[in-house]
Amino acid sequence: MKRVFLFSALFLAGVFAATAQEVNRPQTSANVGITPVQKGNWIVGGSLGSLGYSFEGESFSLSLNPRAGYFISDGVALGLGLTGSVYTAPDADAVWGYGVAPFVRYYFPQGSSASGRFFAQGDVGIAGSSLGSGATLALGANVGYAHFITQSVALEATLGYNYSKATVSGAEKASGLNVGLGFQIYLPGQR
């Protein structure tokens, strides 16, 4: 009988202790308004996974795109992005790529919510690959949505079109679509 009483008392104490604990859920959104995209602020982050498809070569690519920028006015940022990628095609070896491209990003005031903003981004740069030594002109146009999970961190999803043309003779153009997921950190600037 003592064992049953002791077991029951321990069981009830455990149930009360478990229900008395406060459960902290992770923050999933923050009401930020225009604060992160104001003139003088900085943006640092990038796409952690960007999946692309080339129309001409019927190839897929996976890339990592870190970037940093500065807001020259409210909602407009200029910056520089880097690219590291791997391309795969049927019946071919993997090709490693790299590049650097300045970008401009515009955050739309229309359609924005307290915790998110739509944006458009364009970039023009140069790229190369493990296949050759020639430089490639690389252009990109993307649209996306930034969802703020804190006052200074946003998760992003992008959809875009990319075009590239090598500067070596006989090179063909390449164009395709890409989808990216990433994050940005918005740092306040000097006011």
Per-residue pLDDT of the chain (191 residues; tens, 9 = 90+): 667 666 677 776 676 666 655 666 766 777 777 888 899 999 999 887 666 666 666 667 788 889 999 999 999 999 999 988 887 767 777 778 889 999 999 999 887 788 899 999 999 999 887 776 677 888 999 999 999 999 899 999 999 988 877 665 445 567 788 888 999 999 998 75
SS3 41: coil
Residue 141's beta-bridge partner residues? Answer: 122, 161
d(Cα 155, Cα 181) in Å, to the nearest integer? 8
Nearest to 35 by CA among 173, 151, 160, 171: 151
The answer to whether the Cα torsion of 148, 177, 102, 98 is positive or negative is positive
Put residue 151 in one of left, alpha, beta given phi > 0 → left and psi -120 to 50 → alpha: alpha
CATH code for residues 35-187: 2.40.160.20
Cβ atoms 127, 98 nearer than 8 A: yes
* Whole-number pLDDT of residue 30: 75
- Beta strands 173-187 and 136-148: pairing type? unpaired
Nearest to 184 by CA among 53, 68, 17: 68
* Whole-number pLDDT of residue 159: 92
Cβ atoms 77, 102 nearer than 8 A: no
SS3 69: strand
